Structure 1
Amino acid sequence: MRINENTLLEGNQVVLVPYNADHVPRYHEWMKSHELQQLTASEPLTLQQEYDMQRSWREDEDKCTFIILDKQRWADSSVQEEQCMVGDVNIFLTDPSDPSLAELEIMIAEPSYRGRGIGKEVTCMMMSYAVTKLGIQKFEAKIGLDNQVSIAMFKKLHFHKLSMCKVFKEVTLGLTVDDSVRTKLLADTAYMKERDYRQTCSNRQELTSP
């Protein structure tokens, strides 16, 4: 989606930025990992295919993605942005007849960043953005049955099991955003700041200021 092409979301531990061409080589290296291919149920792509995929994420109206950056590292302007990459978070509008339904995916690609609460923060930030900016009212997450860490995280966020597919070895979890869920979600992410991405890039130290 182009709606977020100049949007930066600042959290406590992370910064979410639009997926642009500069991020592709690092992303491509990540996806050579057999473990990540299994966790994301994806096939390895050539570098050119990865660039094509990045353009589709930017332009297609049924997809929205952010790259996850380490906030502390990114605030240091001497560190290249791609060296701050941690993973990505995406939503897909899977039902053309219901634009309020979105499938949510998150990948913490760097192993050293797992188990630190980053996945939960990023998921809540993305959900808050999707609810307030995209009008999403229902979320689904398809997770491999072997990925018990992700399943547990989504359940802590009050997602419940919708279905299980033994053929693809995955479970589908869902959450409907009623008034109480929306109120709690927005309260839990009240610290999140939305900034102009290009402007903030020119002065990263801004993120360390109150």
Structure 2
Amino acid sequence: MKLNAKTALLSPKILLVPYEPHHVPTYHSWMEDEDLRTATASDRLTLLEEHAMQKSWREDGDKLTFIACLPPSSSSSIAKAVRAGKDDASECMLGDVNLFLYPSPEHNEAEGKVVAEVEVMIARREFHGMGLGREIVRLFLWYLFWGGGVGPGG
């Protein structure tokens, strides 16, 4: 979704950034893991297909994706801006969070009612069990409802 094309979200524990082409090689390497693909109900894609997927996710109006990263350690970068390619470099990446919108099966399409699904993935196993998934969802939902996302505040 183009909605978050220039939006980064930062908490003391997590940095969420738009899914950009420079993230694809790391994301693709994560998705080579069969256990991770099974857990996320994902298909194995070639690197070229993964680049096409990243582009489609940027363009589609029914998906919203952020890459989850470790927050920058330098307070100077926080005060100014997140530095693309540096604060969200491959060694900082942890996983992702996604919002999917579907037409509500309980209403007709003309009513415009939708069902929303939020998914979070911590791809790097060394960061499992640290509460980062909860922090990612908290920050993501804050953005959706109060920070200028798709909810009542946006």
TM-score (norm 2): 0.80
Partner residue in 2 for 1:67: 67
Partner residue in 2 for 1:121: 135
Q: CA RMSD in A?
A: 2.1
Deviation (angstroms), 1:72: 3.9
Distance 2:88 2:7 in 1: 19
Q: Does 1:135 align with 2:151?
A: yes
Q: What is the CA deviation profile of residues 136-164 of structure 1, one whole-angstrom value per residue up to 9, with x for unaligned ones? A: 7xxxxxxxxxxxxxxxxxxxxxxxxxxxx
Q: What is the CA deviation profile of residues 55-84 of structure 1, one whole-angstrom value per residue up to 9, with x for unaligned ones? A: 011111100000001114587877771221
The answer to whether the 8 Å contact 2:69/2:93 transfers is yes
Distance 1:20 1:42 in 2: 19
The answer to whether the 8 Å contact 1:13/1:72 transfers is no
In structure 2, give the amino acid aligned to 1:122: I
Higher strand share: 1
In structure 2, give the amino acid aligned to 1:23: H
Q: Does 1:84 align with 2:99?
A: no
Runs of 4+ in 1 over 2 A off after TM superposition: 72-80
Task: Name the larger-Rg structure.
Answer: 1
| Number of equivalent positions | 135
- Percent same amino acid at aligned positions? 41
SS in 2 for 1:102: strand
Q: Would the alpha carbon gap of residues 2 and 106 (structure 1) be closer, same or farther in structure 2, given more than 3 Å must change? A: same
Q: Would the alpha carbon gap of residues 110 and 123 (structure 1) be closer, same or farther in structure 2, given more than 3 Å must change? A: same
